[in-house]
Structure formats: C-alpha cells, structure tokens
C-alpha cells in the first residue's frame, strides 16, 4: 500500500471529521443534546416513580389486609366477652382486646402516613410528566433546527464520503482496521517517524526491533500509542 494513499485517505477523513465537529459544536447541536438529556432524565424519573408507587401500593395492600384481619379478630374476641364467667378470663380478654386496639391504632397511623406518601408521589409524578412533555416539545423544535444545520453540511459530507469510499478500495484491510479504530480518539492517526527513532504522534522513542520492522514494511503500529507510523 502506497504511502500517498494512506496520507490522502487521512486528509479526506480529517476534512470529514472537521465537518462533523462543526455540526456537533453548533448551537443547534448543543441545544438538541441538552433537551435530549432532559427528556431522558424525565423518562428515567418517571420509571423510578412508577416502581416506587408500585412498591407503595403493595405495602398499602399488605397493611390493609393486616388491619382487616386484626379487626375481624377483635370483633370475634369482643363477641366472646359475655361468655366469660370468671375474673381471670375477663382480664385475659381485656388485655388482648386492648392489645388488638393498640395494634389497629398503630396500623391506622402507618396507613395514614403511607397514604400521604402516595399522594406526594402522585403529585411528583404529575409534575415530572408535565416537565417531560414540555421538554419533549423543546426537543422536537431543537431537533428540527439541528436537522437544518445538518442538511447544510450534507452535500459536502456526502462528497467527502464518496471520495473516501473510492480511495478505500486502494487501502489494505489492516490499515483500515487500525485507522477506523483510532480516528475518534487520536488525530492524526498516520504519523511519520521523527528523528529516525521517535513516533510523530506520541513522541516516544521506539525500540530497535520496531525500527527494523519499519524499515521492511510500509507502516507499523506505534508500540506506545497505536498510531500508524511510517518512515518519511
């Protein structure tokens, strides 16, 4: 693979990356990303609130079931009181009836507190839903502006993409694999050997065996940063 092909490929791709960066750094893109994040956050919050509400309803059902069971037990015990003839039996029933009354009172308080929490959760859920709907409107509007900005750059981007696709036919699979893996994080990807010993990207000095390999190949991957390294 000729060095000129590698450099031409990189030159075209850097122009495409510059276009992509122009779009991503535009006010429309920033606004779109911000609104998208707000909508996503609202959706996550609604999901969390729904899960919490479901747990509260389960707790409420359990408390009500427990309350009804105690209430039934109290009714049965109160109905048995007239049949008690001895003092000890009467005291036993009195203590247990009072115990059940206290339990019912405590359960009633728990149910009241949980009811208040459910009301608060419903209010919070309604507020989140309202905010989410408003954010969704803003998202749609900002997406339209983003799409307009993108449409302005598309003719040049498509032209570059076509040129890149054409020159890719002259590139080896190994080169394309390394380049595409690094293009988002390390620019430039294709760099020269500097001073006969150092990588032109990270400036680390290469070991002797790496330099020997480079003398016999069109390019090697820098052992330190992974860039495509060629001998100028």
Task: Determine the straight-line distance between the first and last CA of the chain, rounded to whole angstroms.
Answer: 14
Count of CB atoms situated within 10 Å of the CB of 142: 20
Q: Is the Cβ–Cβ distance between 225 and 201 less than 8 Å?
A: yes
- Judge if pTM exceeds 0.75: no
The CATH number of the domain covering residues in 26-153 = 1.10.287.620
Q: What is the per-residue pLDDT for 87?
A: 61
Q: Hey, CA dihedral for 199, 205, 208, 209, is it positive or negative?
A: negative
Q: What is the per-residue pLDDT for 211?
A: 92
The predicted model gives 206-220 an average pLDDT of: 91
Question: Is a pLDDT exceeding 60 seen at residue 53?
Answer: yes
The predicted model gives 36-49 an average pLDDT of: 93
pLDDT in tens, 140-185: 999 999 999 999 999 999 999 999 999 999 999 999 999 999 998 8
Residue 36's Cα: distance from chain center in Å? 12
Q: What is the per-residue pLDDT for 82?
A: 58
**For residues 186 and 22, what is the distance between their CA atoms, to the nearest angstrom?**
18
Q: Is the Cβ–Cβ distance between 224 and 199 less than 8 Å?
A: yes
pLDDT in tens, 85-127: 556 656 777 888 889 899 999 999 999 999 999 999 999 999 9
pLDDT above 90: percentage of residues in the chain: 82
Tokens coding 26? 């535009």
**For residues 205 and 199, what is the distance between their CA atoms, to the nearest angstrom?**
6
Element (H, E) at 78: helix 27-80
Q: Where are the domains of the chain?
A: 26-153, 178-230
- Mean pLDDT of the residues in the chain: 91
Nearest by Cα to 181 from 189, 191, 169: 189
Residue 89's Cα: distance from chain center in Å? 65
């Amino acid at each position: 693979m000729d060095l000129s092909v590698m450099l031409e490929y990189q030159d075209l791709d850097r122009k495409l990356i510059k276009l992509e960066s122009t779009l991503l750094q535009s006010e429309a893109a920033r606004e779109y990303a911000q609104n998208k994040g707000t909508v996503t956050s609202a959706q996550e919050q609604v999901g969390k609130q729904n899960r919490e509400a479901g747990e509260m309803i389960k707790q409420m059902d359990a408390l009500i079931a427990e309350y009804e069971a105690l209430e039934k037990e109290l009714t049965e015990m109160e109905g048995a009181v007239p049949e008690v003839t001895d003092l000890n039996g009467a005291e036993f029933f009195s203590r247990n009836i009072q115990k059940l009354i206290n339990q019912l009172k405590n359960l009633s308080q728990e149910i009241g507190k949980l009811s208040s929490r459910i009301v608060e959760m419903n209010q919070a859920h309604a507020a989140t839903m309202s905010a989410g709907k408003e954010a969704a409107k803003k998202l749609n509007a900002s997406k339209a502006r983003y799409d307009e900005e993108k449409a302005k750059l598309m003719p040049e981007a498509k032209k570059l993409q076509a040129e890149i696709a054409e020159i890719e036919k002259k590139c080896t699979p190994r080169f394309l694999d390394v380049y595409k893996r690094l293009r988002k994080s390390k620019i430039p990807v294709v760099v020269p050997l500097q001073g006969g010993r150092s990588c032109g990207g990270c400036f680390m000095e290469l070991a002797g065996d790496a330099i020997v390999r480079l003398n016999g190949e069109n390019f090697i991957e820098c052992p330190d940063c992974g860039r495509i390294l060629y001998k100028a």
